[in-house]
Amino acid sequence: MRTSGGGEDANLAPGTRFDHYEIEAELGRGGMGTVYVGRDLSLERKVAIKVLQTESTPGGVREQRFIREARAQAQLASPRIVQIYFVGHIAAAPAEAGGTPRPPRLYFAMELVEGASLEAVVGERGPLPPEEVRGHAIQIVEGLRDAFRAGFIHRDVKPSNLLLAEGGYVKIADFGLAKSHDDDVGLTQDGAIVGSPLYMAPEQCRGAEVDFRADMYGLGCTLFHILAGGPPFKGTNALQLIALHTTEKPPRLEKLAPHVDPAFTSVVHRLLAKEPADRFASHDDLLDALHAAAPGSAPAAGFFTRGMAVGIDCVIAGILIWALGWPGIFVHLAYVTLGHWRFGQTVGKYLMRIRVSMTGGGRVPLGRALLRTLLALWYPFLLGATILWSQGWGSLIATIERLYAIGDSRTVVLGMVVNSALLSVVFGAGLLLAAIIPTKRAVHDLIVGTQVTYTLAPVASGSSRGGSPSSVGKSRGAGSR
């Protein structure tokens, strides 16, 4: 039985022992090192052992990154992330006849995931069913959220770093490129491009500062890959891929995978937005969008329910205008806008148990919430435009002055009621489109890109908050490849 061994790129033979570990078999090789199945002799359990390929400079950047990967994962106590157990050195081996001594090599022992990477699963099975992918996505986002809360951004989210354990549970591996909030500038210099070109966010491609939204882009590329069978961009070299990520729109997923639910497709394309600000504002927002994308989990609100919500809000508007006069109008508009932005609801929508969100899920941005409010006031704008076009600025200003001079808030309330009644025509026009657009979106929803759905909805069968199990082959995966 061997007691130590290993040189540059040399295999560790089965039976090789170091510290309290023993090598059983090789699992695979990656850019940083080789991964083996091993046994922890002290605890009598199987582990994965990653051994760093020898480099000429001890303590160099590769060794520092290797140690940082182990320490980063060791700090992440998450069921969605591969756990690290131990870091050590394999002792130097004496020189063989005519050869040179084999230097010591860094290694770390980690949780052995019995399964395969998502890349291997797609390679074996082809594109995965959308609901299975959505379940995996929820688990991945939960893991990335746990890492972010612990102070880390992964920066290398891709199918080969996502391990699918038996039972359908996903584990995130390989934090070798992870960036902490207090990162060592010696390991991640300004302008340095790090990541995997097939899955890198545009800001990563430019060497710019990145945050958690870079991981969202990598997740978008990953979901695209496992839904469509390949990543969104393909090129012959890294430079071409970088150019595609930074300048070209991704192919439309609905053309490559038309069986994917439109709500889920919209989530994926939002993740692939070129600008980080156009992705999701938080992991929680993304999780909300993924849950809302379950088929049948959030049915569109009907005309009657939405009309009742509008009626309740009209009462609130009337009270405000009655109490405050003209300023009450602006208070009401601010209340509607901020309610849709911050909570997705006004009081009327809350009582009717419906909510406004983006069609791809997630909270409505403030700018779009304001635009939605203004579009809902189409009638007074149309009336003003008609007066302006037919009679000119003078008549328009005179009409406004006469309205302001009325002083009787009840007259203004009547105008608001009439406007709301006419607004219902817009809702009705949106509902007439339901034959073509099943989401029952009103005209202003279509323009702004929002939807109104019920908040108390049955969860689609086969989906769960923790993801859906899947059938996976018996091939083994480890914490890093």
Catalytic residues: 156
Exposed e or buried b per residue across 73-85, where buried means at least 16 C-beta atoms within 10 angstroms of its C-beta = bbbbebebbbbbb
Query: Hey, how many other C-beta atoms are within 10 angstroms of the C-beta on 45?
Result: 12
Rounded (5°) CA angle 347-370-390: 110
Residue 324, class by beta-carbon neighbours within 10 Å (0-12 exposed, 13-18 middle, 19+ buried)?
middle
- Backbone φ/ψ region at 444: left (φ over 0), alpha (ψ -120 to 50), beta: alpha
Query: Hey, how many other C-beta atoms are within 10 angstroms of the C-beta on 57?
Result: 8
Amino acid sitting at position 87:
V
Q: Give the three-state DSSP class for 173.
A: coil
Instruction: Residue 187: name the closest of 81, 66, 71 by CA.
Output: 66
Rounded (5°) CA angle 160-68-113: 40
CB within 8 A of 365, min separation 6: which ones? 341, 358
**In angstroms, rounded to a whole number, what is the distance separating the alpha carbons of residues 102 and 54?**
9
CB within 8 A of 392, min separation 6: which ones? none
Q: First and final CA of the chain: distance in angstroms?
A: 27
Q: Can you read off the two tokens belonging to residue 361?
A: 């899920």
| Partners of 163 in the β-ladder | 117, 171
With beta carbons less than 8 A apart as the criterion, state whether 81 and 146 touch.
yes
Name the DSSP letter for residue 80: T
In sequence order, what DSSP letters do the residues of 235-279 get, joined into one string? -SSHHHHHHHHHHSPPPPHHHH-TTS-HHHHHHHHHHT-SSGGGS
